[in-house]
Amino acid sequence: MAKILVPYDGSDSAQHALQYVISSLAPYMPVTVHVLNVQEPPVMYSEFPAYQMVEQLMDAARAQGDRLTQEAAQRLATAGVAHTTQVVVGNTAQTIADAAEEHAVDQIVMGTRGMGALSNLIVGSVATKVIHDATCPVTLVK
């Protein structure tokens, strides 16, 4: 059984990646999909943020991640595709690569936001960083 990691943030490109797995991979081979939502840690503008405020921001981020992964899980369940979900707070690209290794997936299937060549050159993209950091094949879906 192939193990596939789908980073999922609810964007159109993430939805296209999920649909690609459902319609182009799952019908032809047994797969288990691990849906991963990565929430970036809150940006702190002070050296001494209030602990309670940080916890509230983290709780809100996790709740958003839970909502998004449940949305993806529902689509996978409807299609009869085995799946698991996970929400993690961290650096997006590195967390995706780390999760792929941790879960020993065979492939990462992820969306790309379609950043232009100049923007990608200047700031990079999560997809580009994942390609460089991951030790398994990465399929990008527009």
Q: Point out which residues pair with 6 in neighbouring strands.
A: 35
Range of the domain at 43: 2-83+92-141
CA–CA dist 78, 56 (Å, integer) = 33
Q: Which helix (H) or strand (E) holds 138?
A: strand 138-141
pLDDT tens for 66-75 read: 999 999 999 9
pLDDT tens for 84-142 read: 999 999 999 999 999 999 999 999 999 987 545 545 554 458 899 999 999 999 999 98
Query: How many independent structural domains does the chain possess?
Result: 1
Q: What is the CATH number of the domain that holds 58?
A: 3.40.50.620
